[in-house]
Structure 1
Amino acid sequence: MGLDGMEVMAVAVVICLFVVVLKQFGMWEPLSLEESCDEELELSMTRHQPEGLDHLQAQTCFTRKELQSLYRGFKNECPSGLVDEETFKMIYSQFFPQGDATTYAHYLFNAFDVDRNGSIRFEDFVMGLSVLLRGSVTDKLRWAFNLYDINNDGYITKQEMLSIITSIYDMLGRFTCPNLPQEAPVDHVDQFFQKMDRNGDGVVTIEEFIETCQKDEGIMKSMQLFDHVI
């Protein structure tokens, strides 16, 4: 797998995992009028009270009815209104039985846990989902950059990128090219930096990341894979 293949896989997996979450939560089933009213009432009664529908609709690319459906699925799985990291890991591990999704789920959880308080609120979930499924290309790339920037210092280092790519291979397990040599993740990271690190300073900035990705046809196609999932 070449550089473009690695990048496409990384971006596509990020988006695909949120589709997995949607299916796990049983979301996007049609709501009756009575159910819609019930969901709106529930938004003000859950143990963790999320932002109101009007606010979330203004902050995301979802309709009011879609938010109600999302919330119904979310509260069915998480009655407290919060998702902790162990629950998050458990959800993903069910869909990758041939691999170990623990590390990747940890990184993904941190990308959603914007407050770094150890839990994901409903509003955190829908705002991130809105970016990944309906955001602009730039918004999606910013989100992906923040995932790779593990320590949130504004730069992607080789070690950070290696950690993410390795966690993806670990998660996919034997389905990730059975004959792939052990050093493949390191080789991919080296190629990534040759392409992205334009000034050769050993780190990739968000400007370098976005500019390079936007000029890459393969990456741009991968960003559109799930535009019409919902």
Structure 2
Amino acid sequence: MGCTMSKKKNLPVVTEWDLNQAGLTWADWNWMISHKGYEEKELAQMLIGFREDFPAGGIFRHQFEEFFPEIKMGKSMSDMVFSVLDGDHNGYLDFKEFQQAIDLVGARLPDDRLRWSFKLYDEDNSGSVQLAEMEKVMECVYNMFEGMGQRPSGDPKIRAKEIFEKIDINGDGELTENEFVRGCSEDKEMMTLLNSLFTSMVGN
């Protein structure tokens, strides 16, 4: 009996079936354990609750703003943020993507905000940002602030190019995540803009 009980203690908190039902892999699960700071049992309980609340698989676009009232932005920016969170582009946020949405709401440290912002710019999920991607997002950011009566000065495309050229350290026409973080950290105007963006989105 003692041997049987010992084996039970070593059983995983979730099974392959649980993960498949949630559209997750073991890699997803291990990522959440290592990045979120929860005990595995606590995370498993959250997964059960998530599946009960969203039996269709996740949070759909029309539920997004209702579930995260902290995130305040215009439709174009909201669509872009949802698209970034919906990493597999299946039209809804699964449990892992939901956890990443919580990261967005909870991003307080400059590096956290910069790394999240990098994902916003990296539209094709290539791991690098090109000027055209940065221009598109900068226009959305400007439009969002304009809707709030606080549009930044200047042309968003020109501003995007100036920032891009300044932080493209090796001059290859692409920004890696580390280049982006390092370059933006040294650009006071860019940091002010990003902090304003997060303050507008999540209130902190």
Does the pair score TM above 0.5? yes
Question: In the alignment, which residue of structure 1 is the partner of 2:157?
Answer: 186
The answer as to 2:63 corresponding to 1:87 is: yes
Q: CA deviation at 1:161?
A: 1.0
* Higher RCO, Cα 8 Å, sep 6+: 1
Q: Does residue 169 of structure 2 align to residue 198 of structure 1?
A: yes
- How many angstroms apart in 1 are the aligned matches of 2:68 and 2:103? 20
Give the C-alpha shift of residue 57 in structure 1.
5.0
**In the aligned structure 2, how far is the partner of 1:208 from the partner of 1:191?**
15
Contact 1:112 1:120 in 2 (8 A): yes
Q: Indicate whether 1:61 and 2:37 are aligned.
A: yes
Identity of aligned residues (%): 22
Q: Write the mapping of 1:116-195 to structure 2, written as runs, cut at 5 A.
A: 116-130=89-103, 133=106, 138=111, 140-177=113-150, 183-195=154-166
Aligned residues: 176
1:119 to partner: Cα distance: 1.5
Q: Shift in Å at residue 212 of structure 1?
A: 1.6
Q: Assess, with a 3 A threshold, how the Cα gap between structure 1 residues 71 and 104 changes in structure 2: closer, same or farther.
A: farther
Q: Distance in 1 between matches of 2:141 and 2:52?
A: 28
For 2:139 and 2:52, locate their aligned partners in 1 and report how far apart those are by CA, in whole Å: 32
Paired amino acid for 2:82: F
Unaligned runs of 5+ in 1: 1-43
Q: Give the 3-state SS of the residue equivalent to 2:63 in structure 1.
A: helix
8 Å CA contact retained: 2:122, 2:133: yes
Shift of residue 190, structure 1, vs aligned partner? 2.2
Distance (Å, rounded) in 1 between the aligned partners of 2:180 and 2:71: 30
SS at match of 1:111: helix
User: 1:85: how far off?
Assistant: 2.7
What are the ranges of 5 or more consecutive residues in structure 2 without an aligned counterpart? 1-16
Task: Give the conservation status (yes or no) of the 8 Å contact 1:154–1:205.
Answer: yes
Instruction: Please say which of residues 121-130 and 58-67 is displaced more in the overlay.
Output: 58-67
How big is the alpha-carbon RMSD for the aligned residues of Structure 1 and Structure 2? 4.6
Check the 8 A contact 1:50/1:123 in 2, yes or no: no
Bigger drift between 135-144 and 151-160 goes to: 135-144
